[in-house]
Structure 1
Amino acid sequence: MSATNPFNHAPTPLPQGFFDLDVGQLAPRLLGKVIRHFYRGLWLSARIIETEAYRREEKGSHASLGLTHSRRALFMPAGTLYMYYARGGDSLNISAAGEGDGVLIKSGYPVVDEISRAESLALMRELNPAADGRPRETRRLCNGQTLLCRSLHLKVPEWNAQQMQPGRLIVEDDGYRPELVIQTTRLGIPLGRDEHLPYRFVDHAYAPFCTRNPLGRTREEGRDYILHHADAAPWKHC
């Protein structure tokens, strides 16, 4: 791919209507889709492998705290980007159909293909080195909401309350489909803030590479998580 032409092998964005879904439907349906950001002449890309749904009426949601300038994106049309700082890093969310509802893009996995080739991966590793300055393992580049944004060079001041832009930042369907989806509780929700709600979704095939593997040795299906066949999933209790 040319490093100067974003429209050489340009990806095709999802239509705006894709995001105009109930948040409980949008969060699992985003699994497997690819985020692509054009930066420094290259498409930086990651497959979405982990999401969390947030409803305005539940206590874990930022929108439950009310409309502010920084949170305005959650009250804007579906598909608007909501970015905020978490533990000193940038985090990416996408608004859904319900006013105040949104999906947190929790983790991704780097994509190398005809659009994002080896040089794109090299730039992602340059942007997101390990704490000691050495190159971070590829499988660990995007396993967390702030690491994902760092690897893709997505920044709050540039993208909060913005729509995605063809040729710059998109979410694409490249044909990949998860076979199994894990549904479980979200991470980092304080006690008393609806921490019990099963609003976290993980592509089973990528479970070892998400923020925290929901299939750990002490965890049991039916008690700690629900396993769905993606094509027939009801997404209950969300």
Structure 2
Amino acid sequence: MGKINGCIKCLFIFFNVVFAILGGALVYGALKATPFSHQVTAVGGPSLAWSWVFALGVLILPVLGIVAACMEKELIFKIFAGFMVLGMIVMLIFGIVVVVSRNTLKNSLDTASADAAKPFMEDKEMKLILMSFEEGAHCCGVVSSSDWGNNISDSCECKRQNTGFPFSSGCKAKPAGASGPDQIYATSCSSAIFVFFDLFFKIIMGFCFTFAILALLALLMSILMIHQIRKHDSGGSSMAMKSY
């Protein structure tokens, strides 16, 4: 018979396996997002290096929890509990950093200069993403249509029947001397880009504060299992003394 209650042990292992799988998915997502790290930081967003710290933590700590539950060793549970305390603190800090970064990004886009568009316009892949974004969001340029210089993209073409949804406030004539569509969207994509990043930030904030709560629950379960291990070991010692 094990030292820990079988139901609690199985439940603990199950949730740690789920979070280990989630950690693997987050590592994969961080790997895919890494090429865009420069563009995100250039407009005031947080460094994606933090996403690697978060993803690796979610992957490694559940594995430690599984090992602790399988071996039923008090020392390993204490190490795991210590990491849970640290994890709660880190998740709360991450949540606060994301909130601050969100506000910083909003201020950066609200007061953006032409330099803010350079990371998007100089990267071929980001330029293609921007063009697709312009067509869907009915906007032109990151800061203004002048981001395209004298060669306005066809994705900026304003069609009257599309005007007003979801971000465009109307059409305007292209700048004098510029090539491209005669009528382009009057608004820039900065507000639409913020809506996209705002959703991303809200998801991350939800993750951070949810994981802080889950870390607290894991800590409480660890303390309970440490108590059960101590109770089992002390009971075993007293039995051995009586037999002697």
TM-score by length of 1: 0.23
Greater RCO structure (CA 8 Å; 6+ sep): 1
- Give the number of the structure whose alpha-carbon radius of gyration is greater: 2
TM-score by length of 2: 0.23
Structure with greater strand share of residues: 1
Structure with greater helix share of residues: 2
